[in-house]
Structure 1
């Protein structure tokens, strides 16, 4: 049966849907970080009689299932579209987050956290599938800058909101409220986003289209490996800020817990603002005719090198100097130069559209791994060195590695190959599933 061809079209509501995607990312981070607030609540710890090891299991459970499901979710959205896979997964993780407040055993707690990780794994692959279908090169940086705000504001807001709800009521109410409140997001999502679930003919075309860039082609590409390195190095620093920066400010710089929370909030706000501006600035240069790969690489390298000033904060003699280097100035805020441009380059610009979902899932494995490595390695280095100098030295090394990988590996000639001889129908229909229906 011949497949009817349609010209690729872009969603008329794409900027509104982009904001929804950013809010969806923020909600996912709120539901992730709510557990950290509960683990700091003595009533929660006492009720389940948690040991330090069990607290570690509970805190890490979500990340393991999240990382494991990234590539399967990428496979799904490449074939079945964005709207319904995201809708089903969003409903599942909100209900699982709310259920955290009503379960009564440690095994049940771990199970619901694993379910949250499985369901939240759809967020990033689905977003990049949508961006690939609806934003051209001159708008990708701006779009990703806006989207990344959700990822930065989620951890900045999630822990304070959860802590306030626990103080005002209980840890059980906190989980139920934060979980169910997120369901309101589904209303505008269902209303604004057109149905892109494929018909039988379109599903066949989608399978053919995705098969033209199989996993082996991605793994054979230096660009993909360069993206794995840059995503790991960038995320290593970000996860360090999420897990260890408050403790550093309290233990080594003498700030109060409340002050550390305020400075941590502003650090993530700084990254978010710079990321949005850097993505927009790169897009403007590209729109004027400058090479997209060179422009984005220049921003990425500058951001990685700027971030290495974190080491100056480690050796600062006063708390004011440390705050300047680690919060108010280069090492954290200017890391935002990397954010949107790295995401655009290694997940969209240099990747065939047929494999955006699968590649994004693969790249997210590196991001998830960075979270585990950053938290554990920083703790071990802190134990060995008895100060935060060694953990920050490790960040310095990873940031230099990220800059080097950007320069050496992220080149057009090494992008993943599209297999020749695939059906013309699948190739022409590569930009959308049900455009024009």
Structure 2
């Protein structure tokens, strides 16, 4: 049965809002990568210190995931996601007026804290508003922000930086987020406010129940596996501009243009990862297996595609291989977020998603730092790229062999919960 028009309309509005929030989220992460050389020159720092600036965001983001999921499940996306958006946007603007390395480090820390509820919050919204068997597609659409923004950001941010300076670039991005936060507070509504259907009262997730999630092997498989997804994606997100300029000899302007292709490939991967999972579920494949196919396949193929990047002398072939890796790794990312919305009950969606994201960004936080150290020591990105390839393949094995059973609900019950509009 088709849901009421008010529900369909609100689903569309919320998806648009989530996409915009996700784009601002990733634009804000991209600013430092675009301003990498300018910030190093102004503050007198080297690749290792820049690696620390890039990594501190991810460490703060990772550890803030732990309370973010429980807060989202308890207080809802309107308050927690909106508050996080406001906090990180203020921090982003502050980075634009930072006077030294320590102040920039402080701003990046709060940027990570504020951004923590964004993607678990999106998963919570999707689980509240969409039926279980059809969540892959909206998850994929929402998560295209993580690839659309890096595709949009390089030419836009490069233009802003070259025209007005890197500081103005940070401030403008922060102001855009503040405006979007105010719109979110006005627009967002809980489903029960628009639906006439009875809504079962759900007990808030307790600390004991949240800790109980860590007793499941599936939870640990998601935590460990997603670290490989984010390590590979974040390596490219944070160091790709510098790699193309120093290793491949592209100018700043040419780099801004060249970055568009890999991130557009990643956007297609996001859509494919969510859509393939939904298609397999509709064709009778078990929910667990259907969600794991794009994850494991994406990690394996993405890891393998990274190897030619390290060795080819051709810049064109390197860009093709990077684009293929982005397609498969982002397919895995969309599959992982779809898994988080279906592997447990709706009450714990944000908690599971944030635990998985914690693993992703705790491991992923080392990507920019380790890459910076390797480049400092060897003068090349070769070993850094090979390490990312191995980590991605290991992550595929984690999802394949540890993620085997639903968390907190019998597998047979997963199908019966999918009939809700």
Q: TM-score range by the shorter chain?
A: 0.7 to 0.9
2:413 counterpart residue number:
none
Residues in 2 aligned to 1:212 and 1:66: alpha-carbon distance in whole angstroms? 20
Q: Based on CA coordinates, which of the two structures has the bigger radius of gyration?
A: 1
Tell me how large the CA RMSD over aligned residues is. 3.1
Structure 1 residue 155 corresponds to structure 2 residue 146: no
Structure 1 residue 417 corresponds to structure 2 residue 411: no
- Give how far 1:238 is off: 0.5
Q: Which moved more, 1:49-58 or 1:397-406?
A: 49-58
- Give how far 1:418 is off: 6.5
Q: Is the 8 A contact 1:80 1:196 kept in 2?
A: no
- Give how far 1:227 is off: 0.6
Q: Which moved more, 1:48-57 or 1:72-81?
A: 48-57
Residues in 1 aligned to 2:51 and 2:221: alpha-carbon distance in whole angstroms? 31
2:327 counterpart residue number:
333
Structure 1 residue 36 corresponds to structure 2 residue 22: no
Q: Is the 8 A contact 2:51 2:369 kept in 1?
A: no
Residues in 1 aligned to 2:161 and 2:379: alpha-carbon distance in whole angstroms? 33
- Give how far 1:187 is off: 5.2
- Give how far 1:98 is off: 2.3
Residues in 1 aligned to 2:355 and 2:330: alpha-carbon distance in whole angstroms? 22
C-alpha change, 1:151 and 1:168, in structure 2 (3 Å) is: same
Structure 1 residue 132 corresponds to structure 2 residue 123: no
Residues in 1 aligned to 2:147 and 2:249: alpha-carbon distance in whole angstroms? 25
1:3 counterpart residue number:
none
Structure 1 residue 279 corresponds to structure 2 residue 270: no
1:6 counterpart residue number:
none
Residues in 2 aligned to 1:319 and 1:51: alpha-carbon distance in whole angstroms? 25
- Give how far 1:382 is off: 4.3
Deviations 1:243-295 (Å, cap 9, x if unpaired)? 33334434444444433332322101101112213322331232233322222
Structure 1 residue 263 corresponds to structure 2 residue 258: yes
Q: Is the 8 A contact 2:64 2:116 kept in 1?
A: yes
- Give how far 1:223 is off: 0.8
- Give how far 1:400 is off: 1.6
C-alpha change, 1:400 and 1:195, in structure 2 (3 Å) is: closer
Per the normalisation by structure 2, the TM-score is 0.84
Deviations 1:300-335 (Å, cap 9, x if unpaired)? 2221222112213333353333333333xx333233
C-alpha change, 1:110 and 1:11, in structure 2 (3 Å) is: farther
Structure 1 counterpart of 2:336, from 335, 342, 346: 342
Q: Is the 8 A contact 2:50 2:372 kept in 1?
A: no
Structure 1 residue 324 corresponds to structure 2 residue 320: yes
Matches within 5 A, 1:65-84: 65-84=60-79
Q: Which runs of 5+ in 1 are unaligned?
A: 1-8, 199-204, 420-429, 432-437
1:24 counterpart residue number:
21
Q: Is the 8 A contact 1:220 1:416 kept in 2?
A: no
1:434 counterpart residue number:
none
Residues in 2 aligned to 1:164 and 1:257: alpha-carbon distance in whole angstroms? 10
Residues in 2 aligned to 1:51 and 1:280: alpha-carbon distance in whole angstroms? 42
Residues in 1 aligned to 2:268 and 2:127: alpha-carbon distance in whole angstroms? 23
Q: Is the 8 A contact 2:48 2:372 kept in 1?
A: no
2:138 counterpart residue number:
143
Q: Which runs of 5+ in 2 are unaligned?
A: 1-5, 194-200, 411-416
Residues in 2 aligned to 1:302 and 1:67: alpha-carbon distance in whole angstroms? 25
- Give how far 1:13 is off: 0.8
